[in-house]
Structure 1
Amino acid sequence: MDAIKHYTQAPLPFIGQKRRFLTDFKTILNQCIADDGDGWTIVDVFGGSGLLAHTAKCSKPQAHIIYNDFDGYAICLQNIKYTNHLRKIIFDLTQHVSRNHKLPENVKNQVQAALKSFDGFVDIHSVASWLLFSGRQATNLMDLLSNHTYFNCVRISDYPSADDYLCGLDITSKSYADLLSEFLERDKVLFLFDPPYVCTAQGAYRNETYFGMVEFLKLMRLVRPPFIFFSSTRSEFLDYLDLVIGYKLDGWEQFAGYRKINVQVCLNKNAHYEDNLVYKF
């Protein structure tokens, strides 16, 4: 197949994309899977922005890459023209307000009116990135219109077309349990796990309540190596692994000997945390 353009970040905003881990991620892929990946399947179980699946395809072009687009990111990419049109409308309304400053109430009202009357697809992640303070999220348009202070963080230029971003991926949209059941018994399958973090705000995800503690425990009963699992100090994932291994709880062998890479993340001057990449072959 032709060479794939390699994106180093998702084309459209998405909270939680793992761009800080891409160098380490590619290194681990090369350690786990030789050459161009022929004969392998890589399953991105919680696909998010698709950045992990895209990077896997660039690194292992002959592998079968499955992108589980649970959050509808592919639809956002297909509607970039509407997002750019809405960006221009909101930019024109806010351009006289200093960058990163709070919008005056009259300007906020104008922006809200524009959002309500917009006759086209609304990408809530993109719009939230233009109007909300760093790290803030909105679950849907109604939430954005009702519960937030607005700032002028509107993108200055249009988003470029990203028709090639998901090129070569097998795109599906299934529950993690249904998807995993198709591949757990197969050989030469690498699982990528980047689930919503348990016990944290999950407003960036389509259903705020779809991944609580019970779902997390169900997932962990299905995890087996080789896997790459992303987590954070905002959750208790590493403590959970240490508990399972330390007490030799059911399935502990699947995680014993795991390895970890971490990076420090700064959302804003008051919000810091550590992202973790956990893997086992």
Structure 2
Amino acid sequence: MHYSQAPLPFTGQKRNFLKFFQQVLKENISNQGQGWTIIDAFGGSGLLAHTAKQTLPEARVIFNDFDGYTERLAHIDDTNRLRELIFNRLNDLNVPKNQGLIPQEKAEIEVIIHDFGGYKDVISLGSWLLFSGRQVNQLSDLFNQNWYRKIRETPYPSAVGYLDDVEIVRRNAHELLPDFVDSPRVLLVLDPPYVCTEQGSYRQDDYFGMVQFLRLMSVVRPPFVFFSSTRSEFLAYLDFVIETKQAGWERFVDYRKISIHTSLNKQSRYEDNLVFKFE
């Protein structure tokens, strides 16, 4: 089964880029990926790894689950049970959609969460109760925010088959990539956190700064697919490296890009980019 979005919420899952990502894979890798390895090095929701395996089924696809998304998938039934409890109580309280919760209403939902005996998916909870664009990764952070009725109307679908035949590892990308970068038939799929922006949707929200970015760029070589945004100045960085012939500049000459305009909310609009080079 092909998923057009990740089964559970994850900010920055690149669902709007999937058709372009598939197009790039099909145009540059033949024989359904036979003999190729594709590494989703900053795996996030696993949607890129899933799409790569569906598009090139003969390729070896590796999903680096650094943010623990597979743990969330394993408890999707608990997440659906908790969603139903909160949804029904909000209905009983007659809280309108997108309406902020008053203290008494919030207190009742807090009790439901505290008393729930199953797995508590903080990212999903945040998507149900926080204003658009806000992200937390700890329950304590969630309870300190203002809450709104943003909860989805239906249960999450089953994740059966989502990561079938995908290899799952959990390593820092800086440790993982050196094992593969010397092979010409390894495609690096890179969707790191954006430098100098909030990284609250990532489990370790301070793990990817400027030094980590430069360390990553020192090993990137074709073929690669790199996702970025005008919020991170990645294209300006590439152009600077090429223009001034910084060390390794040849690896990025004649890169190509696909751009789309997107937004987190009505106040936050920007350009997302898929940057790639195969030769």
TM-score, normalisation: structure 2 = 0.97
Q: Secondary structure at the match of 2:175?
A: helix
Is 1:25 paired with 2:21?
Answer: yes
Q: 2:126 aligns with which of 121, 125, 128?
A: 128
Paired amino acid for 1:151 = Y
Q: How many residue pairs are counted as aligned between the two chains?
A: 276
What pairs up with 1:231-270 in 2 under 5 angstroms? 231-270=228-267
Measured in 1, the distance between the counterparts of 2:33 and 2:139 equals 41
Measured in 1, the distance between the counterparts of 2:211 and 2:148 equals 37
Measured in 2, the distance between the counterparts of 1:215 and 1:241 equals 16
Residue aligning to 1:275: 272
Report how far residue 116 of structure 1 moved.
2.3
Residue aligning to 2:225: 228
Is 1:93 paired with 2:105?
Answer: no
Deviation per CA, 1:67-115: give whole Å up to 9, x if none. Answer: 0000111111110011011101111221211001111211111112222
Note if contact 1:199-1:235 (Cα within 8 Å) is conserved in structure 2.
Answer: yes
Residue aligning to 2:142: 144
Report how far residue 240 of structure 1 moved.
0.9
Report how far residue 258 of structure 1 moved.
0.6
Report how far residue 35 of structure 1 moved.
2.5
Report how far residue 266 of structure 1 moved.
2.1
Q: Secondary structure at the match of 2:205?
A: coil
Report how far residue 241 of structure 1 moved.
0.7
Deviation per CA, 1:206-257: give whole Å up to 9, x if none. Answer: 0111001111111110111100000011111111111111100011111111
Note if contact 1:69-1:172 (Cα within 8 Å) is conserved in structure 2.
Answer: yes
Deviation per CA, 1:173-196: give whole Å up to 9, x if none. Answer: 001011101111123110100000
Residue aligning to 2:187: 190
Note if contact 1:77-1:163 (Cα within 8 Å) is conserved in structure 2.
Answer: no
Report how far residue 123 of structure 1 moved.
1.2
Note if contact 2:129-2:148 (Cα within 8 Å) is conserved in structure 1.
Answer: yes
Residue aligning to 2:37: 41
Paired amino acid for 1:73 = Y
Q: 1:6 aligns with which of 2, 9, 22?
A: 2
Report how far residue 264 of structure 1 moved.
0.7
> Where do 5+ consecutive residues of structure 1 fail to align?
none
Note if contact 2:184-2:223 (Cα within 8 Å) is conserved in structure 1.
Answer: no
Residue identity (%): 53
Residue aligning to 1:113: 111
Is 1:159 paired with 2:156?
Answer: yes
Report how far residue 118 of structure 1 moved.
2.1
Q: Secondary structure at the match of 2:221?
A: coil
Measured in 2, the distance between the counterparts of 1:235 and 1:247 equals 20
Measured in 2, the distance between the counterparts of 1:248 and 1:204 equals 35
Q: 1:61 aligns with which of 50, 57, 61?
A: 57
Deviation per CA, 1:135-166: give whole Å up to 9, x if none. Answer: 111121111111x1111011122112112100
Q: Secondary structure at the match of 1:174?
A: coil
Measured in 2, the distance between the counterparts of 1:193 and 1:140 equals 26
Note if contact 1:200-1:235 (Cα within 8 Å) is conserved in structure 2.
Answer: yes
Note if contact 1:197-1:235 (Cα within 8 Å) is conserved in structure 2.
Answer: yes
Q: Secondary structure at the match of 1:137?
A: coil
Measured in 2, the distance between the counterparts of 1:123 and 1:233 equals 30
